[in-house]
Chain A
Amino acid sequence: MSGGAKLAVRVAEVVQVNALIRRFRFVARDGAALPAFSGGAHTVVEMDDHGTRRLNPYSLMSDPEDTSGYEISVRRDDQGRGGSLFLHRHVTPGIEMVISNPINLFPLDVRAKKTLMIAGGIGITPFLAQIAQLSRHGGRFELHYAARSQALGAYMDRLTAAHPGRVHCYFDEEGQQIDLGRLLSMQPIGTHLYVCGPKGMINWVLGTAEKMGWPKGALHHEEFLAPGTGLPFAVQLATSGKTITVGPAQSLLEAMEAAGVDAPYLCRGGACGQCETNVLVCDGKILHRDHWLTPEDSASGHKIMPCVSRFEGKTLVIDR
């Protein structure tokens, strides 16, 4: 079965954190301990949204060594495809759900002498787990966390109280911005930079760091992409011998699954590379939306990431 082993869980607690964010706590249905994980890991939450199967990745924010349960925080996205709305509207304590084992595509490099974290909005979640992990082992860190307003700065109180002097908060509505050039120029050698937040912020941080000579190996980012919508398109699956149509709000991966094809996946957000598929015939244009394929692979037209990428044109035949 694709996606790795699954965990049968029950929702133990739902907490409204602020106007947009809700926190969910999962415990094992059989009362056993859940697998330990490492800071930065995510889980894929399976949802049966009134007949539509949704699988969305969410970063685990609880202490990685707390195996009594996992916590995620979900920001409601009214314009999204519906996963966050389903969680906000229909998931209540006591409900049984299925989630994936933790997968870490955003792990801490423990060789770092210092960890510099930059978070935007809901991008704070992986850092909560990483800070718990670093605090336990005495790791040196510094967090710069930007939110739209004080009211939307989830967990800022908790973080600043627990780590005075290490947590710096910024509010867009108050015209505050991270002084990135200054911040990046002051970091001792051996610092690793982690950024999680909106795409614009990630590009700004990584672009500035590269211009200032930060080595690629010290730059880490995580961004889960929603598959995004688009025009419907037909795909021939060469190995399965099927032709399927991908709906406007459906991903190619979801369309394959709906057709009973067991395609590989892990993150479902264009980041992990697990679903990479060879393209056999492409008469048209692949709309690459992942950040896994190299620019050369994307341009070649020989590969596609079905979890997020789409197609426009006459014929697409893939090796699945």
Chain B
Amino acid sequence: MTKTAFPPAIKSRPVYGVLEPRAGTVHLVVADGEGALAVTDLLARAGEARGAMLAAMHILYTPGPNGTDMWAALEALEAAQAFRAPTIPTLLPRLQRVLADAHMGLQVYLTGTEGLMGQAEREVMVTGFPYRDIQKEHRGSTVRRVQCVHCKGVTENVATDPFQCSHCGLHLFVRDHYSRRLAAFQGVNIDAEEPGNVPPPVVRFT
């Protein structure tokens, strides 16, 4: 499994690259699900620097929304530090704690689903670290984290379009319009003009 190919979209929609080894004093890796494979590919790309990179690597991992759990592969790397959280919400406090003590020279590598990368990016961004220098590679599930623009509630792991807001119950059209601040796509009421006229949901994100 390799990097996910997304169709072209509006400018607001995030685009992802391929993780490349960079000079740094600490290599902070945050991954979920199939992102574990991007981590092993990254280390393969490091060549002779692989050992030195692992000796300065801190990995935070959680299984993907589709249940994929490749923790064993990451644990076997014997990085300087590795931590498995059961879920994204339990991974984030750990990430905040790591960032609180971090110094410049840190390299940040995010990989896996958009929900994980977006929320980790937000934690890194609020430290003042330039977001353009955070590397991101998409792997695995394409389900989306969507904010209802009406009630502001966020629904995780949205697979269909339209979908029903898990907070206020409105039927929402999933836009490519993305907010780095919220780490979420925007969902807009689809039957505002004609209440009840809701197209059948289509599975767009898997």
Contacts and interface: CB of A to CB of B under 8 A. Distances in A.
Interface of A: 109, 111-114, 184-193, 210-218
Nearest to A114: B128
Nearest to A216: B133
B104 A189 contact: yes
Q: What are the 4 A-B residue pairs with the smallest beta carbon separation, nearest first?
A: A217-B130, A190-B128, A215-B133, A213-B24
A188 B102 CA distance: 6
Interface string B158-171: 00000000000000
Given A113-B128, A218-B104, 15 more contacts: A114-B128, A184-B104, A185-B103, A189-B102, A189-B129, A190-B127, A191-B104, A193-B104, A211-B23, A213-B24, A213-B105, A214-B104, A215-B130, A217-B133, A218-B129
Contacts of B22: 213
Contact of A213 (B106, B128, B131, B132): B106
Contact of A187 (B104, B130, B133): B104
Nearest to A111: B128
Interface residues of B, number: 18
Given A185-B25, A189-B99, A214 B105 contact: yes
B4 interface: no
Contacts of B103: 185-189
B107 interface: yes
Contacts of B24: 212-213
Nearest to B102: A189
A216 B103 CA distance: 15
B116 to A, nearest CB: 20
Given A212-B23, A214-B105, A112 B133 contact: no
17 contacts: A109-B128, A114-B128, A184-B104, A187-B103, A188-B102, A189-B102, A189-B104, A190-B128, A191-B104, A191-B128, A212-B23, A212-B25, A213-B25, A213-B106, A214-B104, A217-B133, A218-B130
